[in-house]
Amino acid sequence: MTAIDKYVRLEAIGWWFEAGRQEGREVIVSFGDETLQITSLKDVPLAHWSLLATKRISTRGETVIYSADPDAQEILEIEDPDMVRAISAITSQLSAPARPPSKRRWIWRGLGIGVVLALLGQSPPLIYSTANTLTPPSRLGELSERLRDRIREDQGEECLGWQGRRALSAFSNALLPEPASTLMVFNDLSTPMQALPDGSVILSRSAVEDSSLEQLVALVTLGWAETMEQIPQADIIKALGPVGALRYIISGRFPANLPEIAPLGDRGESYIRARDYLVEIGISPAALQRLAKENGIGLPLPPAALSAFEFEAYDTLKNICAE
């Protein structure tokens, strides 16, 4: 259900500032089903804000500044007066205090709760999908930092050899598309690779030290593909269960005790995306095919033979955890 029907087709130009970034991005803001949709000028989806969570936090002349993040790390600036009035009208209706319900309303409310409980048991995918859509980039960054902190506590510290870290950054920039994912290496990660919701990829020390360059390319590309498919945040939301996901939709906050991310497993769509990317840049996906086979996934190779990835500083990268 759209929040207010007369605003369904309303669009305006705004400036969107992602969490942690000083420079804004010119975007198109439009109304969706109970959300503000933020897309690039080339119509690429960037974010969805819950109208219930959207708040006016400041003004600058005729420009109104909004945020759907309690910490106001991600903001949206809008100058268009029609859009400003529309957001004000919708958010005031959504947050307006309700009158005490009559006895008849209590009956209907009870029926509504019954319907919700019935849907809860039959439509978890819809709940998970809604929760995933309503998660802003700033929340993904916060969630990823919490996961990294937990990894540090439970599975050892990050490897911080400065020459190795510089080689790792160069490796990411050479292999992955712009903006390249942040790669990190941890001493005792329980899996070879873990992708995080903010787009970063963590590698285990053993994966870096014991893998060939071809194998590491496959692992890193797969991690990148998982972040592009939004698998890390989808796994966490699903692990909350339907009730937990609904609680997150309402509160906008993940619980203090985060569920575990599922280990690397059946991720057919991620393997396909990683393979297609390697083929696109002219790199052989043979090692990726072998990794897919180890996880019970059939991944056909392209008919043409492709070259192997080359990286001169690989030996330096492998020593990132050296004392």
For the stretch 228-278, pLDDT in tens is: 988 888 888 888 888 888 888 877 788 888 877 655 445 788 999 999 999
Greater confidence (248 vs 209) lies with 209
- pLDDT average, residue stretch 69-83: 84
Buried b (16+ CB within 10 A) or exposed e, 180-202: bbebbbbeebeebbbbbbbbbbb
Q: What are the backbone angles phi and psi of residue 93, rounded to the nearest 5°?
A: -70, -40
Give me the residues paired with residue 58 across strands.
65
- Residue found under tokens 């393979």: 275
Angle at 37 (CA atoms; ends 251, 47), nearest 5 degrees: 65
Rounded to whole angstroms, the Cα distance separating 122 from 119 reads: 5
pLDDT at 21 > cutoff 80:
no
What pLDDT sits at residue 265? Answer: 47
Give me the residues paired with residue 67 across strands.
55
**Domain range annotation of the chain:** 5-95, 137-318
Element (H, E) at 45: strand 45-50
What pLDDT sits at residue 254? Answer: 84
> Is the CATH number 3.30.540.10 carried by domain 5-95?
no
What pLDDT sits at residue 93? Answer: 63
- The secondary structure of residue 194, as a DSSP letter, is E
**SS3 labels along 62-112:** CEEEEECCCCCCCEEEECCHHHHHHHHHHHHHHHCCCCCCCHHHHHHHHHH
Supply 113's token pair.
């709760």
- Amino acid in position 200: S
pLDDT at 122 > cutoff 60:
no
Rounded to whole angstroms, the Cα distance separating 170 from 316 reads: 11
Exposed / middle / buried, residue 146 (Cβ in 10 Å: 0-12, 13-18, 19+): middle
* Of 87, 109, 103, 99, the residue nearest 38 (C-alpha): 87
Cα distances (angstroms) measured from residue 193 to each of 37, 118, 223: 32, 38, 7
The string of pLDDT tens digits covering residues 170-200 is 999 999 998 778 899 998 888 899 999 888 9
pLDDT at 4 > cutoff 80:
no
- Average pLDDT over the chain, rounded to an integer: 82
What pLDDT sits at residue 264? Answer: 45
Rounded to whole angstroms, the Cα distance separating 214 from 317 reads: 14
